């Protein structure tokens, strides 16, 4: 008989809580991964995964949580916390070097409170796909880096975010949400637009802004990439918060 698992997502502002019920194995981990990705696409401040009603049938399937935590670190730059794992799952999580990147709490209420109190600094703005969007993006970076005392990061971050916003103006042509997040040791930049087109990193224009485009982003960012987000995509970059 095929394994079954259900994923219930609820909001405990500002945290998304995903309650899993059923069997977790190599056959169901894909649906779990999709549910967790969907919860992250709403850009909560943190993601808590409730394992109290889960039966883990294959310890390898627990790697789905490490993969989700790594994805969440890049975008939307939020913590992922597991809570209330059954005894066998808790032991396997403790023994797994892959899963040690994900904190585990025995109490889901406490995990939700802790996740919602991370104190991450974040600034968001809604921009239209107009000529002035790049200038507004640079102003946002200047404002954020001034507030967060990141003078060295301001110049590189302004260039990178301007390129990401400019790419939306030139190609997607949709309104966009720009997010700046300080989650040390990185300053995270992200632009979410309404188009799935060119969702891969190659979608950035190499010829943009006098030939800088992708080459500039690659040079200045520690890591960067693109992921589906709702009906569109998120293009993100991480720069050292020095």
Whether 125 and 214 map to the same domain: the answer is yes
| Burial label, 9 (beta-carbon count in 10 A; 0-12, 13-18, 19+) | middle
pLDDT value of residue 86: 95
Higher pLDDT, 7 or 119: 7
Residues 6+ apart with CB under 8 A from 44: 11, 14, 15, 16, 76, 78
Q: Are residues 146 and 232 in the same domain?
A: yes
111 plus 164 within the same structural domain: no
Tens digit of each residue's pLDDT (9 = 90 or more) over 62-113: 999 999 999 999 999 999 999 999 999 999 999 988 777 899 999 999 888 8
Task: Report the CATH number that the domain containing residue 133 is assigned in CATH.
Answer: 3.30.565.10
Number of domains in the chain: 2
Would you state the pLDDT for residue 3?
75
Across the beta sheet with 46-56, what order do the strands follow? 5-12, 15-24, 46-56, 80-83, 104-105
Q: Where are the beta strands (DSSP E) in 35-164?
A: 46-56, 80-83, 104-105, 121-127
Q: Alpha-carbon distance 87 to 30, whole Å? A: 23
Say if residues 179 and 156 touch (Cβ distance below 8 Å): no
Q: How far apart are CA 64 and CA 57, in angstroms?
A: 14
At residue 191, the pLDDT reads 96
Q: What is the pLDDT of residue 118?
A: 72
Q: Tell me how far CA of residue 68 lies from CA of 72, 87, 89, in angstroms.
A: 6, 22, 17
Neighbours of 139 (CB within 10 A): 13
Clarify whether residues 131 and 82 are in a common domain: no
- CATH code assigned at 41: 3.30.750.24
Which residue, 116, 142, 177, sits at the end of a domain? 116
Q: Of 116, 146, 163, which residue is a domain's last?
A: 116
What pLDDT shows up at residue 200?
A: 45
Query: DSSP per residue over 122-155, as a string?
Result: EEEEEE-SSTTHHHHHHHHHHHHHHHTT-HHHHH
Contact (Cβ atoms closer than 8 angstroms) between residue 57 and residue 23: yes
For residues 11 and 102, membership in a common domain is answered with yes
Q: Residues 237, 160: contact at Cβ < 8 Å?
A: yes
Residues 109 and 183 in one domain: no
Q: Phi and psi at residue 193, in whole multiples of 5°?
A: -120, -175
The pLDDT value recorded for residue 215 is 77
Residues 127 and 226 in one domain: yes
Give residue 47's domain range: 5-116
Are 9 and 109 contained in the same domain? yes
Do 173 and 193 reside in the same domain of the chain? yes
Q: Enter the pTM of the model.
A: 0.88
My answer on whether 29 and 67 are in the same domain is: yes
Distance CA 173, CA 187 (A): 26
What are 145-191's pLDDT values in tens digits? 999 999 999 999 999 999 999 989 988 999 999 999 999 999 999 99
- Final residue of a domain: which of 87, 116, 145? 116
Shared domain check, 160 and 99: no
Looking at the structure, do residues 111 and 11 belong to the same domain, yes or no? yes
């Amino acid at each position: 008989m095929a394994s079954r698992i259900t994923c219930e997502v609820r909001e405990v502002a500002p945290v998304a809580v995903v309650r899993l019920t059923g069997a977790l194995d190599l056959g169901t981990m894909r649906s779990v991964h999709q549910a967790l990705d969907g919860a992250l696409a709403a850009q909560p401040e943190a993601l808590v995964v409730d394992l109290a009603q889960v039966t883990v049938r294959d310890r390898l399937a627990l790697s789905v949580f490490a993969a989700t935590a790594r994805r969440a670190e890049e975008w939307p730059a939020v913590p992922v916390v597991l809570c209330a794992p059954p005894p066998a799952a808790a032991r396997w999580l403790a023994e797994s070097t892959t899963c040690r990147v994900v904190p585990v709490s025995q109490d889901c209420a406490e995990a939700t409170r802790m996740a919602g109190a991370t104190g991450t600094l974040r600034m968001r703005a809604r921009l239209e796909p107009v000529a002035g969007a790049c200038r507004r993006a640079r102003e946002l970076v200047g404002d954020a880096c001034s507030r967060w005392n990141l003078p060295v990061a301001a110049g590189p971050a302004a260039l990178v975010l301007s390129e990401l916003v400019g790419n939306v103006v030139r190609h997607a042509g949709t309104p966009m949400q720009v997010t700046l997040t300080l989650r040390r040791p990185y300053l995270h930049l992200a632009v979410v637009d309404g188009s799935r087109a060119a969702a891969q990193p190659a979608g950035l224009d190499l010829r943009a802004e006098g030939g800088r485009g992708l080459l500039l982003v690659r040079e200045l960012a520690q890591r960067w990439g693109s992921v589906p987000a709702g009906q569109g995509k998120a293009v993100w970059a991480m720069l050292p918060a020095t």
